[in-house]
Amino acid sequence: MISPHSEIDPKAEIDEGVTIGPWCIIGPNVQVGAGTVIESHVVIRTNTRIGKNNRFFQFCSVGEDPADKKFEGEDTWLEIGDDNVFREGVTLHRGTGAGGGSTRIGNNNLMMAYG
């Protein structure tokens, strides 16, 4: 189910069985795998591939520009595997051109912020 209160870009690809709560923003070039749950107030900016059965708690900020002063707008990606949990407030940035162009997160991880 996708909340009618969320904004999904027409260029995003959302698989069957994905749940998107209210007040989320899903940007262009985002792929979300089956069984993924996105709680309320999550932003998935752009150029992000999310595997199956992930869970994003409220206020996650995903696929943001790299936090690197040398970033000049090049095409970079965030790739997330399967069965991960991202607790509230987690921030995940795309890779940098100098670092290979992609941030990669594997399978079966738990990420927390402010722990």
CATH number at residue 16: 2.160.10.10
Query: Sheet holding 37-38: strands in order across?
Result: 19-20, 37-38, 55-56, 85-86, 110-111
pLDDT at res. 115 = 67
Residues of the domain holding 105: 7-111
Q: Is 1 a domain residue?
A: no
pLDDT score for 5:
99
pLDDT per 10-residue tile (average), the chain, 115 residues: 98 99 99 99 99 99 94 94 98 91 98 88
According to the model, what pLDDT value does residue 11 have? 98
If one counts the domains in the chain, the total is 1
- The answer to whether residue 33 sits within a structural domain is yes
85 lies in a domain?
A: yes
pLDDT value, residue 70:
87
Q: Is residue 23 part of a domain?
A: yes
The whole-model pTM stands at 0.95
DSSP code of residue 68: -
Q: Could you tell me if residue 22 is inside a domain?
A: yes
